[in-house]
Amino acid sequence: MRYYNTLIETIGDTPLVKLNSVNKGIKGTILVKVEYFNPGNSVKDRIALKMIEDAEKEGILKPGGTIIEGTSGNTGMGLALVAQAKGYKCIFTLADKQSPEKMDILRAVGAEVIVCPTNVSPDDPRSYYSVAKKLNQDIPNSFYPNQYDNVSNTKAHYESTGPEIWRDTEGKVTHYAAGMGTGGTICGTSKYLKEQNAGVVSVAIDSYGSVFKKYKETGIFDEKEIYPYLTEGIGEDILPKNVDFDMIDHIVKVTDKDGAVMARKLAREEGLFVGWSCGSAVHGALEYAKENLKEDDVMVILLPDHGTRYLGKVYNDNWMKDHGFLESRKFATAKDIISNRNGSADLKTINKEMTVGDAILTMNENGIDQVPVVDASGEFVGSLNDTKVLKSLLDNPDIKNSAVGEIMDPPFQFVGMDNTIDVLSSLISKNANALLVRDDQNKVHIVTQSDLLMAISSN
């Protein structure tokens, strides 16, 4: 008889499949490694098994223990399957931008799910990173795998994914591409392949709103690069220890829309019903391949998960239309709003040391009712709203002699140039009715509530 003792014995040995349609006109052979053949339908099954087995060997995880992890969903699924096979309990923290399907699947396999806000800093006690760490401290006999900094993540791919690609291409692979999140998938696999052939080129796919690309190219961790985006599973606002930039040759950024559209295209034209970041990986890899691949080259693109995780988003026509990803009507973006303005006046700002009285004069002279506040170095440190200023003056007329920094509100949020008016309007609030956008020339623009109203009325 041929059978497996537990489901986790089926992890790995996923197939390579040749692309035949979406890559038309591109030289070379393009293969995708389809990770949804893993039992948990994602590449994260590999690291889940490795992290738990290594923790058992080190005595960190003991029988009857609880596994606690911050996850975008797929790592949680892998950990849950391994936990079932080994008799552990699971608690997972997720950011609220993750799809409902991911949360439902985790609950279905017996895990407890705690949903945390997306738009908070990693060290905020409400973030899914911080909540997971706190639970680990408070719950006896618990284990926090921490896929971001746990080197077993990288080792899993060095020991399995890399060797499989090398074996199945008979050593002919010339380029390897994968999404970049925790860093383990791209770096562990790349490390193995480069040890076999130093000429193998690794291409990491990043998201707009993530810090990776600029850090790789400049060595600067630029918080100005960080802003909300919708794609799940790639990009970060931190630098995980599993990211080894020496193992990455190029980083390509992909918009939310391009990733989502490509995912649907892969399902329709290649029969590959894959997740959102899979579309991002293919779109970014093909953008690189157009200019760089030669006829004899072999590129392998890793597709991390399955489309069932995104039925309510990428594969839902109404959701796609609402976000401007399907062109049932023309959706303006932040870039369109800025491009359609008359003239190209520089953004008006106010220094936080300026008096409130002088700030009012400046706002009146320029006909603006809200303005970003900067410090001496030009950093955006706050914002000023005429309604708030008026209220402050009525309460205390002497405040006009005080520094703006004493009454300013938090700084306006930065968003991406490709965000549609639907997304932009959802980020506007009563207390913050403007957003900031940084263009390709590093110039900052403001998008106000009035801009959004004009854009909506013209569509």
CA gap 186, 252 in Å, rounded: 13
Q: How many CB atoms lie within 10 A of CB 138?
A: 9
Residues paired with 429 in a beta bridge: 432
| The pLDDT of residue 440 | 74
More confident residue, 457 or 413: 413
Q: How many CB atoms lie within 10 A of CB 387?
A: 11
More confident residue, 64 or 399: 64
Pairing label, strands 29-34, 16-18: antiparallel
| The pLDDT of residue 186 | 98
| The pLDDT of residue 331 | 60
- Answer positive or negative: Cα dihedral of 243, 244, 247, 253: positive
CA-based nearest residue to 414, from 390, 457, 383:
383
Say if CB 452 and CB 426 are below 8 A apart: no
Which domains does the chain possess? 7-42+151-322 (3.40.50.1100), 45-143 (3.40.50.1100), 334-457 (3.10.580.10)
Residues paired with 373 in a beta bridge: 350, 382
CA gap 403, 454 in Å, rounded: 34
| The pLDDT of residue 389 | 84
| The pLDDT of residue 54 | 97
CA gap 277, 279 in Å, rounded: 5
Place of tokens 């609950």: 107
Confidence of residue 397 (pLDDT cuts 50, 70, 90): confident
Say if CB 272 and CB 262 are below 8 A apart: no
pLDDT beyond 80 at 332: no
Lowest mean pLDDT among 21-30, 169-178, 403-412: 403-412
| The pLDDT of residue 344 | 56
Could you report the per-residue pLDDT of 194-236, keeping only the tens digit for each? 999 999 999 999 999 999 999 999 999 988 888 888 898 899 9
Q: How many Cα atoms within 13 Å fall on the side-chain side of residue 451?
A: 28
- What is the three-class DSSP state of 276? helix
Lowest mean pLDDT among 149-153, 285-289, 402-406, 418-422: 418-422
Indicate the average pLDDT of the chain. 91
| The pLDDT of residue 457 | 60
| The pLDDT of residue 61 | 94
Structure tokens at 277: 């970041």
**Could you give the angle at the alpha carbon of 407 between the alpha carbons of 402 and 410, nearest 5°?**
145
CA gap 404, 388 in Å, rounded: 12
Could you report the per-residue pLDDT of 244-292, keeping only the tens digit for each? 999 999 999 999 999 999 999 999 999 999 999 999 999 999 999 999 9
CB burial of 250-260 (b: ≥16 within 10 Å; e: otherwise) equals bbbbbbbbbbb
Model confidence, pTM? 0.74
Lowest mean pLDDT among 47-56, 267-276, 377-386: 377-386
| The pLDDT of residue 136 | 95
Say if CB 455 and CB 421 are below 8 A apart: yes
The DSSP secondary-structure symbol of 358 reads: H
Phi, psi for 259 (deg, rounded to 5): -65, -45
Structure tokens at 89: 């309990």
Lowest mean pLDDT among 143-157, 182-196, 217-231, 421-435: 421-435
- Residues forming the active site: 44
CA-based nearest residue to 169, from 271, 269, 296:
296
Pairing label, strands 250-254, 298-303: unpaired
CA gap 47, 35 in Å, rounded: 12
Q: DSSP assignment of 57-87, as one string?
A: HTTSS-TT-EEEEE-SSHHHHHHHHHHHHHT
Residues paired with 162 in a beta bridge: none
Say if CB 126 and CB 43 are below 8 A apart: no
